[in-house]
Structure 1
Amino acid sequence: MTGWSDWRRDRVIHLDWVDRRGKVISTTGGEAKIVYEIAGMPGWLMKQYRPGTAISDARLDRLISLPERLDAAEKTLVHTATSWPVARVVAQSRSVGVVIPKASDSFVHAFRRPDGKWMEPKTVNVDQLCRPADELKALGQPVPSEKDRRATGRRLAEVGALFERHDLVYADWSYTNAFWNPQDGSVYVIDVDGCYFGTRPWIGAVNWDDPQVARGQPITTTTDRYRLGLLVARCLTGERGPEKVPAALLGMRDREPAVEVLLRMIHAGTPAEKRPTIEELAVALGAAARVTAPVPVQTVPATEPESDANVKNWKKVGPSATATTVGASAPPPPPPPRPPAAAPARDPSTARQPPPGRPSPARQGTTGSPTRRASPPRPGQPATRPRPARPVPRPLREAAEIVSVLGAWALGLGLLLLVVIGLARAL
């Protein structure tokens, strides 16, 4: 199979490079006008968008390059379980589509028709897990055990958790957007090029709509938690109707640890911000716990502009940037910051200094011109504190006090002498 790691060409290519149609895969489906195999490039598909589709070059470029920053385990997941776009296709200075990897042939199986004849092999959707056992047998497909269903649910949750860790909103979780291999339970999520960072325009689907989001409102990762939780719950229970899923989950509570998490994810009354994360669901289904990197608050448009030059109405979205370990106890909070040290008491005998930040008065030099002031500190350099005045030695202070007292006595005696002389003359 091919995947993101196998691409060896540029991340932005011209339509001329891929405008060689081989087998047509699809001509219907969402934003895609056509999806076809690229002749001469085995394992790669060209997904061409419909005319007038709003495309952000910046979003696609950021999405295409994201796997470069993932760790080895996440890159493997991207490579084996997603149709992650590998290049943006342009024509006449506009984006017209993306190149995506083709799913492995392990997801392609033949189905038996009601008359007993076999149809041409086709990809198997996760939808097959929601068929009754007798119907699967009639189609010539193996009947999955609870262990098989759990493995498939865990793999779906692992892909969803990858999106969630990097603040990607997929929003299109449903039966038809994930392939399933009945032989080993592996999954393959398609239409990844439709992911947005932080929030994305509303997208609806019958029996998949988030009860906490009004129709037409932007969607965040909290809606992904609801929709993916519902998809996994349906895969585990084999129940298609949303009204039957909760009761079916309760019936397997004693043998499935993920039931409590799923019930909180899909309960209509659970506030969106209180839903368990997809990472919690993955761990409950048996995935290894991992430390999630802090998710930065993204600045993204609520609705995608037709070009990058027309971006308006941006808003901050996304979870708080705190690292957490799913499936482990929370780390202790950091110690409170130390209070600032008290300033040392000033000696009353020292000369008065100007307040911090206020320059000292200019001193007159011998020529009568003011001396040059010190240059202000450069950015990033600490401001130089004014040097405190040197205190007067104690013996000198005591001598000065004695001289002051003697002077006062001398002045008093002089005045008394003048008074006596004046009285003597008067007599």
Structure 2
Amino acid sequence: MTDQELCGSAAAYPGGWALPRSVSLDALGPLGEAVSEHNGQSVAVQPLTDHPGWLAKLYRPGRHPEDARRLDDLIAAPDTLSPPERTALYAGTCWPAARIHRPDDPAAGCVIPMAPEAYRAELRRGAFAEERFVEVDWLAKSDESIRRIGLPGPGAAGRLAACRRLTELAAILESLGLVYSDWSFSNAFWSPEQRSVYLIDVDGCRPERMPDIHQPNWADPLTPQGTDADRYTDRYRLALLVAKCLTGRRDADAFHTVAASPWPGQPAASEVLLDMLLATDRERRPSAAQLHQALNGGPYLRALRPTRSALPPAPPVAVTTVQRRAEIYAVRKESVPAPTPPRQKPASSPRDGLTLALVIVSIVVLLVILAVNH
């Protein structure tokens, strides 16, 4: 296999590019305007002007000298994979192709491929439109929300296909003994048309363990703060990402939707996800390969299933606009006083007639007496 093939984008270079696995910054030629700056471990990510489709990711100075060896091992790691796994890894990640060095810095950065254009789309918000890479964050929302920005709703089949790709890549990383740790919304792109995902920032992978950087809403409850992230941390965060993308829901709502087993064609998927998310023993969390197998309709085979903690409290039921309007109407209707009925004349009784007759007779007698006296 040539160095060009190891870069994973040979088709983009009809003339070929003999890129060694270690290259000086000067040998890369001029760099274009940065597409990203001061983001995480890098100071800049810049296009290679002479090699379209490739980027130079330049690290902050002062990195540990062992980072050069780690990068070399990472670049060479795909050599140990089967051809299908290697193809999947290069197609689905911005895997580093070469280590960049300077005279005073052996790990100044790395050369990575640019994400394919299939992961870029025009997002519309009202009268505004912006073309950009689509983050997998959108899969954690409803189909209706996705259609509102001009993207096709993925439906159950599209969500399942994207999550299968996520777990396939995670299983490959785990088989290489690498910890990614960055499973979250911002580190993967999503293509609705291809029903696929693309991982970025994979050059930060480390063997066995790495510092666990706190990420809001992605903290592993069984990995205490201050301890390293490992394969078990990766399994929890992967399951959390898959649960959100598969259900289009977030927080506790995603847990409860998974527990409702909404995927009849993948009967084991819910069980594997819940064991990854709720196992009380972190080392008994199912592997990424087991989740990938379950999402493809395979069985969940374990000699002893882990004990689970309870589901988080269910979120309050969302009230729709129609329901809310009906409630408001009912309250207003109850608050309006009932109309006062018109006053009616009381019905007369026989006793009332007798009284009237006596009054008339008395008046007549009085008039007769007055007449006689005159």
> How does the TM-score come out when normalised to structure 1?
0.64
Structure 1 residues 178-193: aligned runs within 5 Å:
178-193=188-203
Taking structure 1 as reference, are residues 283 and 36 closer, same or farther at Cα in structure 2, changes over 3 Å only? same
**What is the CA-CA distance between 1:177 and the residue it aligns to?**
0.5
* Structure 1 residue identity aligned to 2:217: N
How high is the sequence identity, in percent, across the aligned residues? 38
Whether contact under 8 Å (2:96, 2:111) holds in the other structure is yes
- Partner in structure 1 of residue 256 of structure 2: 247
Which one of 48, 59, 72 corresponds to residue 49 of structure 1?
A: 59
* Structure 1 residue identity aligned to 2:115: A
More helix by share: 2
**What is the CA-CA distance between 1:73 and the residue it aligns to?**
0.8
Which one of 194, 198, 214 corresponds to residue 204 of structure 1?
A: 214
- Partner in structure 2 of residue 169 of structure 1: 179
Whether contact under 8 Å (1:89, 1:97) holds in the other structure is yes
Whether contact under 8 Å (2:272, 2:300) holds in the other structure is no
1:24 aligns with 2:5: no
* Structure 1 residue identity aligned to 2:7: W
**What is the CA-CA distance between 1:198 and the residue it aligns to?**
1.1
* Structure 1 residue identity aligned to 2:34: V
**What is the CA-CA distance between 1:19 and the residue it aligns to?**
5.1
**What is the CA-CA distance between 1:247 and the residue it aligns to?**
0.7
1:153 aligns with 2:153: no
Which one of 37, 58, 67 corresponds to residue 69 of structure 2?
A: 58
- Partner in structure 2 of residue 101 of structure 1: 113
Taking structure 1 as reference, are residues 244 and 329 closer, same or farther at Cα in structure 2, changes over 3 Å only? closer
Whether contact under 8 Å (2:166, 2:197) holds in the other structure is yes
Secondary structure of the structure 2 residue equivalent to 1:252? coil
**What is the CA-CA distance between 1:24 and the residue it aligns to?**
2.3
**What is the CA-CA distance between 1:54 and the residue it aligns to?**
3.6
Find the aligned partners of 1:265 and 1:3 in 2 and give their Cα distance. Answer: 33
Find the aligned partners of 1:176 and 1:89 in 2 and give their Cα distance. Answer: 25
Whether contact under 8 Å (1:77, 1:159) holds in the other structure is yes
**What is the CA-CA distance between 1:28 and the residue it aligns to?**
3.6
- Partner in structure 2 of residue 110 of structure 1: 122
**What is the CA-CA distance between 1:186 and the residue it aligns to?**
1.1
Which one of 207, 215, 225 corresponds to residue 215 of structure 1?
A: 225
1:4 aligns with 2:7: yes
**What is the CA-CA distance between 1:79 and the residue it aligns to?**
1.5
> How does the TM-score come out when normalised to structure 2?
0.73
Find the aligned partners of 2:198 and 2:292 in 1 and give their Cα distance. Answer: 16
Whether contact under 8 Å (1:3, 1:101) holds in the other structure is no
Taking structure 1 as reference, are residues 33 and 254 closer, same or farther at Cα in structure 2, changes over 3 Å only? closer
Secondary structure of the structure 2 residue equivalent to 1:149? helix
- Partner in structure 1 of residue 87 of structure 2: 76
For 1:64-104, what per-residue CA distance to the aligned partner results, in whole angstroms no more than 9, with x for missing partners? 11112211011101110011101000112412100001111
- Partner in structure 2 of residue 36 of structure 1: 46
* Structure 2 residue identity aligned to 1:249: V
**What is the CA-CA distance between 1:47 and the residue it aligns to?**
0.4
Structure 1 residues 218-367: aligned runs within 5 Å:
218-241=228-251, 243-253=252-262, 255=264, 256-257=266-267, 258-267=269-278, 269-286=279-296
Find the aligned partners of 2:249 and 2:64 in 1 and give their Cα distance. Answer: 36
Q: Give RMSD over aligned pairs.
A: 2.0
* Structure 2 residue identity aligned to 1:16: D
Whether contact under 8 Å (1:233, 1:262) holds in the other structure is yes
Whether contact under 8 Å (1:157, 1:281) holds in the other structure is yes
For 1:118-154, what per-residue CA distance to the aligned partner results, in whole angstroms no more than 9, with x for missing partners? 22x1101110111233322221111111111011111
Taking structure 1 as reference, are residues 131 and 253 closer, same or farther at Cα in structure 2, changes over 3 Å only? closer
Equivalenced residue count is 288
Which one of 124, 133, 137 corresponds to residue 147 of structure 2?
A: 137
Whether contact under 8 Å (1:31, 1:53) holds in the other structure is no
Find the aligned partners of 1:170 and 1:151 in 2 and give their Cα distance. Answer: 21
- Which runs of 5 or more residues in structure 2 are unaligned? 11-16, 304-374
Secondary structure of the structure 2 residue equivalent to 1:200? strand
**What is the CA-CA distance between 1:253 and the residue it aligns to?**
4.3
**What is the CA-CA distance between 1:29 and the residue it aligns to?**
1.8
For 1:375-417, what per-residue CA distance to the aligned partner results, in whole angstroms no more than 9, with x for missing partners? xxxxxxxxxxxxxxxxxxxxxxxxxxxxxxxxxxxxxxxxxxx
